[in-house]
Each structure stands twice: as structure tokens, then as C-alpha cells.
């Protein structure tokens, strides 16, 4: 895997035929799918399950997602997704995913996702447990 300054984690996957549009480039909505795939692998890598119920029972809702498109991916490109925790707040976290071409290392898209820790019964944000906040903060360094 490649190294990208400011990121300690990356994962790779290939663009599938079903992900391209009539212009033979990756359909714009797929970039958020790619971010989701990368985040799934990031959480596995981060081993936050070791925190127990404070993490495994935590619920988060996405409150904002932004994608800045730089250049399109095409069928069969190998994508390398770099992930980091950019910010940890009282009840939220901001995640950054850079989607790069694995061979050329060119940046194709920047994705930012803000998620809020949620009390599902009350449907309102609640502070992150101290242990979770500390672990998330450590991931961003």
C-alpha cells in the first residue's frame, strides 16, 4: 500500500462495471459508496471493538457528507482509499477519505463525513464516552 501524508490507513478495491455510467466513468453517487467501503475497513483496522459496549453499542448518524470531485475513475481502475479522523468534538467526529488512483497516486476525490453520536431513544446527540473520544483522537495523530 502507498503512503499518503497525514494518513495512517488505506485500503484498495477495483472499479466494477456496474459502477460506471453512460460516459464510462464512475457514477458520482458511487464515491460515497467508496467512502463507506473504506470506513468499514478503517473501523476494522482501528480495533475499536476492544472498547466493548462503549463502542459496539454506540450509534452515529451522518449529518453532512461532501464530495469534492477532482477527476473521474474509470472501469477497472484500482482505487486506494486513505482514511483518517480529522476532528473529534463533544458529540461528533469528522472523517476524511481521499480516493486516489492506486497506480498513479492521483487524487480523484476528497470526501468529508460528519457523524454525530446519537441517543436513539431520544433521537438527539449525546457526548461521546471519554474512552471513545480518546481512542478516536489517538487515531487522528
With bands split at pLDDT 50, 70 and 90, how would you rate the model's confidence at 107?
very high
- Return the percentage of the chain with pLDDT > 90, whole number: 87
| pLDDT value for 28 | 95
| pLDDT value for 91 | 96
| pLDDT value for 2 | 63
pTM reported for the whole predicted model: 0.93
Residue 1 clears pLDDT 60, i.e. is over it: no
Residue 41 clears pLDDT 90, i.e. is over it: yes
With CA atoms as reference, report the closest residue to 48 among 77, 80, 20, 88: 88
With CA atoms as reference, report the closest residue to 36 among 94, 78, 93, 97: 97
Q: How many CB atoms lie within 10 A of CB 42?
A: 23
Average pLDDT over residues 3-12: 92
Average pLDDT over residues 72-90: 97
Amino acid at each position: 500500500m502507498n503512503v499518503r501524508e497525514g494518513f495512517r490507513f488505506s485500503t484498495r478495491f477495483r472499479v466494477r462495471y456496474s459502477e460506471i455510467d453512460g460516459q464510462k466513468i464512475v457514477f458520482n453517487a458511487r464515491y460515497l459508496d467508496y467512502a463507506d467501503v473504506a470506513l468499514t475497513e478503517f473501523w476494522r483496522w482501528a480495533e475499536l471493538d476492544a472498547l466493548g459496549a462503549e463502542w459496539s453499542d454506540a450509534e452515529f448518524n451522518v449529518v453532512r457528507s461532501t464530495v469534492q470531485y477532482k477527476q473521474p475513475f474509470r472501469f477497472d481502475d484500482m482505487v486506494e482509499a486513505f482514511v483518517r479522523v480529522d476532528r473529534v468534538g463533544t458529540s461528533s467526529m469528522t472523517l476524511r477519505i481521499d480516493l486516489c488512483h492506486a497506480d498513479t497516486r492521483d487524487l480523484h476525490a476528497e470526501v468529508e463525513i460528519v457523524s454525530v453520536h446519537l441517543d436513539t431513544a431520544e433521537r438527539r446527540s449525546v457526548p461521546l464516552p471519554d474512552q471513545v473520544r480518546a481512542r478516536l483522537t489517538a487515531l487522528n495523530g
